[in-house]
Amino acid sequence: MIGALPTGHDRPRILGRYDTGRPGLALVVVVGIHGNEPAGVTAIGRVLDTLARRGVPVRGSVVAVLGNRAALAARRRFLHQDLNRMWTREAVAQVRATGASADGGERGEQRELLATLDQLLAPPRSDVVVVDLHSTSAPGPPFACFSDTLSSRAVARATELPLILGLEEAIGGTLLDYLEDLARPAVLVEGGQHDDPTSVLHLEGTVWRILVRTGLLDAAAVPDFPEHEARLAAAVRGLPRVVEVVYRHAIADADRFRMRPGLGSFRAVRRGDVLADDRRGPVAAPVSGLLLMPLYQEQGNDGFFLGRPVRRSWLSVSRIVRTLRADRLLPSLPGIARDPDRPHRLLVDTRVARWFPRQAFHLAGFRQLPPRDGKLVFTRRVET
Ligand SMILES: [Zn+2]
């Protein structure tokens, strides 16, 4: 059971916990990893409050973990470094290898968060699911991102929101990367614009959906579940169910990047449409597609993303390909070789395997890494 949630700067790393001792799934909800995204904090507070007030007999437990506490207090995305870009294998190993005295800015936040997650995800626990709640600077409907392993996909589908594939691959170093390395199922949910009260409702409703769809509780135990369902359904009506990211517009502070006003996520744009301006002049869409997460805030290194709808059948086909482990045949194809040092990686010589699209590797459960020696590099995602 939980007590009243503190609201000041002294909030503990573990914001709240609800557990009635019944066996089941442990849901770990991370909120506020970006300090200017308080909607997730409010949303999980409401869920924990409702559970405690009604004494709901959950099968399993819910734990809420605070991300960037100092940035939340300052209401900034981050103070020195984006806490959701610091989770590459190398960066995490470095935090573990150095003492706390080496910490400055977000490093201290990461060390504490890592220690908390270590506890919550420690083996032999095999029944933990992580949900990471966010909001965006631009207006837009709620959606879900995940590292495309079959186990994370199952959780992402429980949200019943539009699913965005490859966002974490385009960015790199997000908490999702770290969780994928640990083979932990996880999903990131974007609720809408930062300070829009509807974003809180979207995130709250999505957490209820996950709780119900993963069997922690019955829909009847949630007082306003039908209202949440109706609101979420209306928010995503007409949107594609699955979208694959095909382009990321990376920016640096010196670019003086400014989105043109009035653009939101899922807006259809054509190649050549001017979307923003920077110090070099107008910034046009390099391909046609759906605009995702246009940046309308000072901090951040992703100007915007472009995505394309993927047929829903793609998910079923890819599940079959992966279950059969058809990827074992890939290295026998011309131009594709196993990395001699890391056998789960494939090196693709595009002069030979020119016909082989990136999507085929995604289908088979691989993610792309930066190219090496002129070859494309793909690594197989870790399945639970
Ligand atoms: Zn965020």
User: What is the distance in A from the centroid of ligand 1 to the CA of 34?
Assistant: 5
pLDDT at 303: 95
Q: At what angle do helices 106-121 and 89-97 cross, to 10 degrees?
A: 100
Q: Which residues of the chain have pLDDT under 50?
A: 1-8
Cβ–Cβ under 8 Å, residues 244 and 165: yes
User: What is the distance in A from the centroid of ligand 1 to the CA of 189?
Assistant: 9
Beta strands 302-309 and 242-250, pairing class: antiparallel
User: What is the distance in A from the centroid of ligand 1 to the CA of 45?
Assistant: 18
pLDDT at 354: 66
Q: Which pTM value belongs to this model?
A: 0.89
User: What is the distance in A from the centroid of ligand 1 to the CA of 292?
Assistant: 13
Query: Cα–Cα distance between 340 and 356 in angstroms, integer?
Result: 21
User: What is the distance in A from the centroid of ligand 1 to the CA of 366?
Assistant: 25
**Which two structure tokens, joined as six digits, stand for 212?**
């119900």
User: What is the distance in A from the centroid of ligand 1 to the CA of 149?
Assistant: 21
Query: Cα–Cα distance between 208 and 51 in angstroms, integer?
Result: 10
User: What is the distance in A from the centroid of ligand 1 to the CA of 351?
Assistant: 38
pLDDT at 7: 42
Query: Cα–Cα distance between 148 and 220 in angstroms, integer?
Result: 31
> Which residue shows structure tokens 């390099």?
286
pLDDT in tens, 4-36: 444 445 688 999 999 999 999 999 999 999 999
User: What is the distance in A from the centroid of ligand 1 to the CA of 33?
Assistant: 7
- The domains found in the chain, sorted by start residue, are 14-235 (3.40.630.10), 242-309 (2.40.50), 318-380 (no CATH)
User: What is the distance in A from the centroid of ligand 1 to the CA of 352?
Assistant: 40
Neighbours of ion ligand 1 (CB under 5 A): 34, 37, 134
**Which two structure tokens, joined as six digits, stand for 126?**
């095999």
pLDDT at 347: 87
CA-to-CA dists, residue 336 to 327, 339, 354, 378, angstroms? 11, 10, 10, 10
pLDDT at 8: 44
